[in-house]
């Protein structure tokens, strides 16, 4: 299933391949244009979703890239693990780095741009702070989970904190209203119907998420990669203000570039929203900027 039944499927000269890593625990997929890929987008998806929702990226970016590499986070999609659960965010980071390395082994000499959305944006940032020497060309972050737009009910928050150490795996609603991911009704419908999506988290996930977003949002760098951030200003799931503050205070190492794209009125999933062409146009412009500055 794609993010919407109305979205384009793979271009005719693209194919899909799938495989597993880490003792078959992590599911990976690649969308590939015919021939050996020269430039790829590596995607880390958001909370409760998974990799099949990014198929339409190939059509919108087919003039700029020739591969999309992605995977399902632990506890998501077709990867193993308790749904919505994590003991430590290092597990997410390890899966992301191992997936990246697996793609680089299969497709050597391919220029890779790292893309992280929502929870995947938080995971991406904290991972890239920890691993400053990965062989990637740039980083693209969409609506990162650096602050919540929806307040967590006080009793639920305290309950999660209290039981996380001994009942950290029980499932709780994630409080996300599917109608807030996009203004496109077909996206909202598919979001709720896709059996690989889920709508809950565990106390352990919640406690770790809170710790990680607080630490990452306060990290001032220096960041070791050129950075493009896409922020939907109508987001009612994560805080646009927190993302903008992070961007403004973040220092990059010498010679690197950063750019911020604000999308007025857009909901959480800019690349799945009405007017998504504007988000893709911003991303395409970023690729042009990176090309003009030469390869690593």
Q: Is residue 26 part of a domain?
A: yes
Q: Is residue 127 part of a domain?
A: yes
Show the tokens assigned to 72.
Answer: 């399902």
Residue 38 confidence (pLDDT) = 96
Residue 19 confidence (pLDDT) = 98
Domain with 115 in it:
14-292
Mean pLDDT value of segment 220-232: 98
Q: Is residue 1 part of a domain?
A: no
User: Is the sign of the CA dihedral 127, 128, 133, 137 positive or negative?
Assistant: positive
Mean pLDDT value of segment 87-105: 97
- Judged against a pLDDT cut of 50, whether residue 235 lies above it is answered with yes
- To the nearest whole percent, how much of the chain has pLDDT over 70? 90
Asked if 88 and 164 count as a contact pair (C-beta separation under 8 A), the reply is: no
Residue 191 confidence (pLDDT) = 93
Asked if 66 and 31 count as a contact pair (C-beta separation under 8 A), the reply is: no
- Judged against a pLDDT cut of 90, whether residue 158 lies above it is answered with no
Q: Is residue 207 part of a domain?
A: yes
Question: Taking the CB of residue 87, how many other CB atoms lie within 10 A of it?
Answer: 16
260: closest CA among 268, 249, 269? 249
Q: How many domains does the chain have?
A: 1
- 94 vs 211: CA distance, rounded Å: 18
Q: Is residue 6 part of a domain?
A: no
Report the CATH number that the domain containing residue 278 is assigned in CATH. 3.40.50.1820
Residues 24-75 pLDDT 10s: 999 999 999 998 899 999 999 999 999 999 999 999 999 999 999 999 999 9
Q: Is residue 99 part of a domain?
A: yes
Q: Is residue 96 part of a domain?
A: yes
Q: Is residue 262 part of a domain?
A: yes
């Amino acid at each position: 299933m794609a993010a919407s039944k109305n979205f384009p499927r793979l271009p005719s000269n693209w194919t899909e391949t799938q495989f597993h890593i880490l003792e078959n625990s992590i599911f990976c997929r690649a969308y590939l244009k015919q021939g050996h890929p020269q430039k790829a987008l590596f995607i880390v998806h958001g909370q409760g979703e998974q990799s099949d929702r990014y198929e339409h990226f190939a059509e919108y970016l087919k003039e700029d890239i020739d591969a999309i590499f992605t995977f399902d986070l632990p506890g998501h999609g077709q990867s193993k693990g308790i749904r919505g659960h994590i003991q430590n965010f290092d597990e997410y980071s390890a899966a992301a780095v191992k997936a990246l390395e697996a793609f680089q082994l299969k497709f050597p000499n391919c220029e890779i741009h790292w893309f992280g959305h929502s929870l995947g944006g938080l995971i991406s940032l904290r991972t890239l702070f920890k691993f400053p020497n990965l062989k990637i060309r740039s980083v693209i972050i969409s609506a990162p989970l650096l602050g919540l737009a929806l307040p967590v009910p006080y009793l639920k928050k305290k309950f999660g904190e209290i039981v996380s150490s001994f009942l950290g795996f029980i499932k709780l609603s994630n409080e996300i209203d599917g109608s807030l991911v996009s203004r496109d009704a077909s996206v909202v419908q598919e979001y709720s119907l896709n059996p690989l999506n889920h709508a809950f988290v565990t106390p352990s996930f919640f406690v770790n998420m809170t710790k990680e977003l607080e630490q990452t949002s306060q990290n001032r760098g220096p960041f070791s990669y050129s950075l493009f951030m896409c922020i939907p200003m109508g987001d009612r799931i994560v805080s646009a203000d927190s993302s903008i503050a992070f961007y403004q205070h973040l220092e990059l190492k010498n010679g690197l570039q950063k750019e911020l794209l604000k999308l007025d009125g857009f909901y959480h999933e800019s690349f799945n929203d009405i007017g998504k062409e504007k988000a893709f146009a911003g991303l395409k412009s970023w690729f042009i900027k990176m090309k003009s500055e030469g390869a690593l």
